[in-house]
Amino acid sequence: MTAIDHPRIPGSGRPRAAYDDATRERLAADAAQVVARYPDARSALLPLLHLVQSEDGYVSPAGIAFCAATLDLSTAQVSAVATFYTQYKRRPNGEYTVGVCTNTLCAIMGGDAIWEDLTDRLGIGHDETTGDGKITLERIECNAACDYAPVMMINWEFFDNQTPDSAAEVVGRLIAGESVAPTRGPSRVQTFKQVSRVLAGFDDGLADEGVAAGEPTLRGLRLARENGWTAPSVDAGARDAAQAEPAAPAAGTAAPAASAPQPGGEQSSVDRPAAGAAERSADQEKAEHRADDTSAPADSEKES
């Protein structure tokens, strides 16, 4: 086994807490397009987190402050969402995220061997980044491509039927600055920042490039056509459902009890506050979160 050469580059210091005017103006123009897609502005938070991640390579303090100001949320609310989803990074991510599937099928087909080989070659583990900032390595539970196991993904593009040697060769080329093409999809793998911008909703023009579904994926469809197999029609399904419905109760008799709690009913907690709690509007919740942000005493106050 040969270690993949990647020079160590020191970090760039403390992250900026706010964007400069030019960056803020550019992001605000993009954010306006994103927010316009939603009837409620706060629903745009997920794509806006991808937008600021496309700027910084992770969700930075400046990005959190920008999202909060844009959507009239507290920084606590934004941070709560950013820390919930693993696709949002809270520290600088590599230029390429390499995800190795080690779930059951990929593992027994060689995924575990690929993972162990890459961790040895790169000298990093799960969710760690090489010193040159090129590669972030992740152990993935499932890449949703079991018909091509073992699978490796690079910035969410598929590299099918991998071996330890083929995976190491691809990663080595990325570190050397070469362009690589996935097994299926576009002609090249985009950087983490570029892909984050796509996830924010901005088209990169690559969606229709390359093969999307290969032979293993289409084999079932081909067999169905050869044998004349078809799925039940929608009309047949509706007819069967209608036949299964219970007859209406006779006049003067009580209707049977509902088989399942209905949203908003007595048995359901949907749209109802917890027992004994008063209902709160969205504005009240927002005010409480802002109060939480400002109520913590400063260090100087603690010392006094």
The position carrying tokens 């086994």 is: 1
* Model confidence pTM above 0.85: no
pLDDT value of residue 12:
47
pLDDT value of residue 235:
75
Task: Output the 3-class SS for 34-83.
Answer: HHCCCCCHHHHHHHHHHHHHHHHCCCCHHHHHHHHHHHCCCHHHHHHHHC
d(CA 50, CA 195): 9
Q: How is the chain split into domains, by residue range?
A: 21-82, 96-199
d(CA 99, CA 184): 16
d(CA 297, CA 165): 55
The position carrying tokens 């050397």 is: 176
Are 143 and 154 within 8 A, CB to CB? no
Tally DSSP H helices, then E strands, for the chain. 12, 5
pLDDT value of residue 271:
53
Mind listing the pLDDT tens digit of every residue in the chain (304 residues)?
A: 455 554 333 344 566 678 999 999 999 999 999 999 999 999 999 999 999 999 999 999 999 999 999 999 999 999 999 999 999 999 999 999 999 999 999 999 999 999 999 999 999 999 999 999 999 999 999 988 999 999 999 999 999 999 999 999 999 999 999 999 999 989 899 999 999 999 999 998 888 777 777 888 888 889 999 999 998 887 766 676 667 666 666 666 665 555 555 655 555 455 555 666 666 666 776 777 666 666 555 554 555 4
d(CA 187, CA 206): 8
The pair of three-digit structure tokens given for residue 255, joined into one six-digit string: 């209707």
Q: What is the arrangement of strands in the sheet containing 157-159, beginning at the earlier edge strand?
A: 128-129, 135-140, 96-101, 152-154, 157-159
pLDDT value of residue 231:
86
Which CATH fold topology does 96-199 show? Glutaredoxin (3.40.30)
pLDDT value of residue 287:
74
3-class SS at 140? Answer: strand
pLDDT value of residue 104:
93
